[in-house]
Amino acid sequence: MATTKHLLLLFLLILTMITITSSTSLPFLTTEQNQIATKIIDAMISSGSFEDWSGAFLNNNDELNGPVLTSTLFLPKTSVEGINATSPLVASYHIVPQWLDFSVISLMMPFSRIPTLLSGHSIVVTNNSASGFTLDGVLISEPDLFVSPSIVIHRMAFPFNFSRYGGGHI
Ligand SMILES: *[C@@H]1O[C@H](CO)[C@@H](O)[C@H](O)[C@H]1NC(C)=O
Ligand SMILES: *[C@@H]1O[C@H](CO)[C@@H](O)[C@H](O)[C@H]1NC(C)=O
Ligand SMILES: *[C@@H]1O[C@H](CO)[C@@H](O)[C@H](O)[C@H]1NC(C)=O
């Protein structure tokens, strides 16, 4: 009985640790990087539409005018009922704090996970064939739409659905 109690306590302790860890910001972002990320996401969600995300992203992450967040934006081409361009969760999930041009992404194997700015949620490689490379089941319709030394934008056929593919864990 004592053992069961100890196991239960240990389990609760681990659960608490997991909960605390997953609710904090990405461990590898500095305070400054987090501030840039917040600024970009705020601008994107106030732009109102997926179409305007790219301008908001570029204007607030300009390597000529200050510090940038090295990152990749997945820019949806069309909107989808139920996935809102003004949601901070949706916007955060479409940004990866890494420079991933198509030559890097195309080497990733199916089921590889790419952590996003939405804490605890990642994008998954669903098909890595050259003719139909998909992430979260969505086709990369225009790879490398924009590429600079610190930023990449890929156009996606549709927005990602983080509830379905995000994994809920790193
Ligand atoms: C998107 O979210 C905004 C703000 O929460 C809300 O006003 C709007 O009605 C939503 N649009 C859709 C299509 O869900
Ligand atoms: C991946 O995409 C290619 C090209 O669209 C298709 O032929 C293939 O069946 C897909 N593979 C899987 C596992 O869905
Ligand atoms: C997103 O995924 C959830 C969970 O699978 C699903 O219930 C919801 O309908 C999906 N939303 C869209 C717009 O496909």
Over residues 155-169, the pLDDT tens digits come to 999 999 999 999 965
As a whole number of Å, the CA-based R_g of the chain is 18
Residue 170: inside a domain? no
Which residues form the pocket of ligand 3, taking CB atoms under 6 Å from any ligand atom? 80, 82-83, 161, 163-164
Structural contact between residues 148 and 58, judged by C-beta atoms closer than 8 angstroms: no
Assigned domain for 81 exists: yes
How many structural domains is the chain composed of? 1
Determine the distance separating the centroid of ligand 2 and the alpha carbon of 132, expressed in angstroms.
6
Determine, yes or no, domain membership for 34: yes
Tokens of 164: 């379905």
Query: Could you read off the pLDDT of 87-113 as tens digits, one per residue?
Result: 999 999 999 999 999 999 999 999 999
Q: Would you say the CB of residue 46 lies under 6 angstroms from ligand 2?
A: no
Q: Which domain holds residue 76?
A: 2-165
Q: Is 125 left (phi over 0), alpha (psi -120 to 50) or beta?
A: beta
Report the pLDDT value the prediction gives residue 137, as an integer from 0 to 100.
97
Helix (H, G, I), strand (E, B), or coil: what is residue 57?
helix
Q: What is the CATH number of the domain that holds 62?
A: 2.30.180.10
Q: Is residue 121 included in any domain, yes or no?
A: yes
Closest ligand relative to 127 C-alpha: 2
Residue 134 covered by a domain: yes
Determine whether the shortest distance from the Cβ of 49 to ligand 1 is under 6 A. Answer: no
